[in-house]
Structure 1
Amino acid sequence: MRSRSHSTRLTVSGTGMSSRNLLPAVGLSALAQAAPLLTNLVLTPYLIRRLGLDRFGVWSLILVLLATLTVLDGGIGASLARFHARHAARGDREGAGRLVFGSLAVFVGLGAVVTCLCLALTPTLVTALDVPTRLRDEAGQLLLALGPLLTLALASNSAVALLQANARFRALAGVSGGSCLAYAVAVTALIDHGPDLPLLAVLAAGRYLLVTLGGLAIGARHLRIRRPLLPLRAERRDFGGYAARMQLSGFTVFLNGEIDALVIAALLPVRYVGIYAAGYQAATALRSLPLYAFPPILTRMTHVYARHGLVGAAREFHLLQPRWLPLVLTYGVVTMAAVGLAVQVWLGTALALSGAVAAVLLTGYSVQVALTGIRTCFVRAVGRPGLEARYSWFSTAVNLALTVPLTLLFGVVGVVLATALGIMAGSVYFVVLCRRLAGLREQRLPRRWPAATAAATAVAVLGDLLVLRLGLHGVLPLLLAGLPVLTGLALATALLLPELQPSRPPEVEEAP
């Protein structure tokens, strides 16, 4: 077995992914993934004003359906980054080319199936979802566009996975940021009062197309297209088994998140979907910030596992997790306390319910990301996504058991409370599963963590209360409300950093 000092200085062949440049890669990955979220945050108040809450609710519902179908893609999208990283580690450009070609062929087929289903079911769906009569024509047109939107969204994910796996994070940030800027400019220039939902769908499709073409053009140097164009039988079997397990996990994402919006759409007027969507958008945006570190960490851990096996990957986990856990927990507590106020600053006090939805969801998300974040990269890197599926289904079972009683007690907030409790219970179960697999263990939180987190939370909440009292609403006031949160997090980080210095990882033994 190689020495511990050597294992912490690995460099990924052909990608430049070393311990030394992992942090810049995380920053660039964050820029790439933050661009769509920031674009939505900026455009949401504008779209609500231009479209009206009912029409915005219809658009939110279409986005929920698109997100649901994107997750239910057979696990292909969630598996591409891992297999592209493996091809990159081996220098297998032909295998990467077959993977790109094969995934795009599947995505075109999925889009065609969804289009046929929408042609047959659109009248029934529009009626079942309680869409106002005056908006049913627009809703029907959006449903017919769902298939092409799905194909382009999945294709863009394929291009993104190719760049991530080859550590092309600077290029990825440029492609993602440029496409979002073009989309935002087009929306503000072309969307006006009236029936503009079909045009909005065309603009969204254009953004996905820009990401797909730009990503594949930049990543072409990592591909070689030769016959056979589709993956070989052994490659299909390996990828299919992994993707099937990822789909089991991905399906729970639908059950634990997207289904909440569908339940609301079935039981309440469609405008409540927009109210829920605003809170859900705020919570998922804040949850996503720590997750921006995943692509470079997964790429690096996959290469470490390819070279050093389970022991090397476990050692990598024990180097990263002692810093990840306290910082992410602090971030979660501070943002959970402040998000309800921030949503009211963003959209107005009339949408305070959206802020409550965001706060409840973010509580569950924070625990989930802190406990499962690095573990998720670990199990994916070592080819054990079945463990992720097991904990996800456990979360779903708890969620479904709690949904009815909590909804009867607390209404819409009860729906998201059941989701939050379910994912927290599942996260604890995932910790147990990973400890059984490879002895992955947690260390104690730093001694200063309670005081640092309490101080940061106080600064964030008091600052946002002052901003809310100004009576200003929109994107610029929201940015102002972010300053106290950033100040509090900077204070907590300064207090915690002395206790987050590298420590000797515990000895781990490779499981049979």
Structure 2
Amino acid sequence: MTRRRPGQRSISYKVIVNTIYNTFGRFWGIIVGIFLTPYIISRVGVDRFGVWAVVGVVTGYFGLLDMGVGASFVKYISEFYARKEYNKISHIVNTGFTIYFILAIVSFLLVFLLKNPILAFLNMPMYLRHEAGVVLVMGIALFGASNAMSPFLAIQGGLQRMDITNNIGIGLSIVNIAGTIFFLERGFGIIGLMMNNVIVFMILAAVNVTVVRFIMPELRFRLFYIDRMIFRRILNFGYNMQIAKVSGMVASHTDKILITCFLSIGLVTFYQLGSSVIYYAASLAGILTSALMPAFSEIEARGERDRLVEAYMRSMKYISFVIAPIFIYLAISAEQVIFIWLGYGYERSVVIIQILAGAFLINTIAQVPLSVSMAIDKPRLVAVGSLITIMSNIILSALFIRIFGFTGAAWGTLVAVNAGTIYFMARLNAEMRIPAKNVIRIVMPFFLSCAVAATIIFALNSFIGKNLFHSGLGRVESMALFFVKGAIFLLCYLVSVFWMKPFNADELEVIKRKIPFMAPIIARIINRP
């Protein structure tokens, strides 16, 4: 019988605790972003907020230089810890730190020397170039240092101590809020925001190193040490995942670069705000699917492919049930969402929400097949779909910006993301020998139910008065109206879903346990003749 180390926790306990902390941490991050974003814009202005967003994109692209090495840290630390191969964990941390330290130096020198050409390429206005240059150089330096410390943070993930990770994150978010207010109120602008990020990072680095000393006392750190075998191993694993990472970067951020180059830096702010709403919604899928990959992997390891297919289809059903109404309601209520969040003057962000909701609805549901592809060790399926997204997104967004202007970037993303996602899902389903009609049959009731609910909301808008929202309602009143309409939408959606009967009795019991407020409705459905 295997004995646990002192303080070691059962797997089921870890899964439950990590899910709870991840959920709380994710929602806390969303709340902070919702309240902090309009405050920052009010202090720095639309153009400088656009600069802030574009600098974030540029630094993110420099993060791709690691060729996917970072994607493997948690995986291998977890494996080595389970086998008590603590020396190999030390080798991963040392190798990862050294690689990222070298990349940080290279990235910093490149940006420092090419700062002006980069800003010129981005069509940065002359009156913003000094600030943008300072923020860009500081951002690259900070990003490099943060990456160098990422192997230490990965230890918390590898040991499944997400409770610690999220507690640290929440605590530092409070420091970040206080620092943001301090620097902006004293007129430091976006340079002050970057100074605040540097301070927060220094605290985070110190805390993470201290935590690692307590939860992983076996770690032995050697400066500038690279284990070639470990490096090849983590590089081989991360290669295919890197393509998916590039795809995510292109789909999420390249539009901002194109808007800056072809249009203006100020328009980036409106795109950033609209896309943020969709990314907040998409992040909910990460909570719902976080436990799927290890569960699918366990089933696959047992050779129970039929059971894996069943789990895959059932998970698709659950995630579609939850995600579809969120995206559709955001799309039909985008105008209210922007007004409630930011007030007047940001109407251009409305159409971005509506278009990107269509772009990322299927992509978000595809987190389930993504987990399956990882479980069956087929990351190449993800890579090919990602390549389709990458190539088509850049070409189509650039072309559509020329044709449609500001909204063209979002239209290009919609076509590209759906093309890559659908191709990936088709390849995976073929690998799993699942007919396409089976998948369509599973998700279609939820899409149709959303259409029914949306039609009823549109009918109510016409009946009550098309200009109700524009009749002088304040943001508080509009928020109340938003939730009332949301309740009506949800009720209509649920009635339509259960009328179509996409769930069997066992699945309804699961929903009844997981969503207690629906228990009376489910009980009636189950007992209905």
Q: CA deviation at 1:262?
A: 0.9
2: CA distance, partners of 1:128 / 1:179: 35
2: CA distance, partners of 1:447 / 1:263: 35
2: CA distance, partners of 1:111 / 1:356: 38
Per-residue Cα deviation, 1:428-459 (whole angstroms, up to 9, x for no partner):
11112212333356553379635743465468
Per-residue Cα deviation, 1:371-426 (whole angstroms, up to 9, x for no partner):
x2112122234433221111111223333453354333321211111111111121
TM-score under structure 1 length normalisation: 0.82
Q: Which amino acid aligns with 1:284?
A: Y
State which of 406, 410, 416 in structure 2 corresponds to 1:416: 410
**Is the contact made by 1:78 and 1:246 (CA closer than 8 Å) also made in structure 2?**
yes
Q: CA deviation at 1:187?
A: 0.9
Residues 1:383 and 2:377 aligned together? yes
- In structure 1, the residue matched to 2:245 is 250
**Is the contact made by 1:68 and 1:258 (CA closer than 8 Å) also made in structure 2?**
no
Q: CA deviation at 1:478?
A: 8.7
Identity %: 17
Q: CA RMSD in A?
A: 3.6
**Is the contact made by 2:320 and 2:443 (CA closer than 8 Å) also made in structure 1?**
no
- In structure 1, the residue matched to 2:426 is 432
1: CA distance, partners of 2:477 / 2:80: 46
Q: Which amino acid aligns with 1:487?
A: A
Unaligned runs of 5+ in 2: 1-6, 509-529
1: CA distance, partners of 2:15 / 2:505: 16
Q: CA deviation at 1:270?
A: 1.6
Unaligned runs of 5+ in 1: 1-12, 505-512
- In structure 1, the residue matched to 2:522 is none
Equivalent pairs counted in the alignment come to 488
Which is worse superposed, 422-431 or 477-486?
Answer: 477-486
Q: Which amino acid aligns with 2:262?
A: L
Q: CA deviation at 1:472?
A: 3.7
- In structure 2, the residue matched to 1:259 is 254
Per-residue Cα deviation, 1:474-505 (whole angstroms, up to 9, x for no partner):
xx78975763576367647865588265469x
Distance 1:380 1:17, change over 3 A: same
1: CA distance, partners of 2:56 / 2:24: 22
Which is worse superposed, 277-286 or 445-454?
Answer: 445-454
Q: Which amino acid aligns with 1:187?
A: T
**Is the contact made by 2:247 and 2:390 (CA closer than 8 Å) also made in structure 1?**
yes
- In structure 2, the residue matched to 1:406 is 400
- In structure 1, the residue matched to 2:483 is 483
State which of 147, 163, 186 in structure 1 corresponds to 2:156: 163
Residues 1:186 and 2:179 aligned together? yes
TM-score under structure 2 length normalisation: 0.80
2: CA distance, partners of 1:338 / 1:327: 17
Distance 1:165 1:467, change over 3 A: farther
2: CA distance, partners of 1:170 / 1:479: 33
Secondary structure, aligned partner of 1:351: coil
- In structure 2, the residue matched to 1:355 is 350
Per-residue Cα deviation, 1:263-299 (whole angstroms, up to 9, x for no partner):
1111222211222221222221222121233443334
**Is the contact made by 1:131 and 1:270 (CA closer than 8 Å) also made in structure 2?**
yes
**Is the contact made by 1:467 and 1:477 (CA closer than 8 Å) also made in structure 2?**
no
Distance 1:438 1:387, change over 3 A: same
Per-residue Cα deviation, 1:65-120 (whole angstroms, up to 9, x for no partner):
22333355321333333333433544444433332332232222222111101210
Per-residue Cα deviation, 1:319-349 (whole angstroms, up to 9, x for no partner):
5333223322232222222234312332234
Distance 1:151 1:447, change over 3 A: closer
2: CA distance, partners of 1:391 / 1:291: 19
Q: CA deviation at 1:203?
A: 1.3
Secondary structure, aligned partner of 2:264: coil
Per-residue Cα deviation, 1:143-192 (whole angstroms, up to 9, x for no partner):
21122221244356545544344332332321221111210122123312
Which is worse superposed, 312-321 or 458-467?
Answer: 458-467
State which of 262, 265, 277 in structure 2 corresponds to 1:282: 277
Distance 1:486 1:209, change over 3 A: farther
State which of 4, 21, 24 in structure 2 corresponds to 1:28: 21
State which of 111, 119, 123 in structure 2 corresponds to 1:126: 119
State which of 50, 60, 68 in structure 2 corresponds to 1:75: 68
Q: Within 5 Å, give how 1:42-61 maps onto structure 2.
A: 42-61=35-54
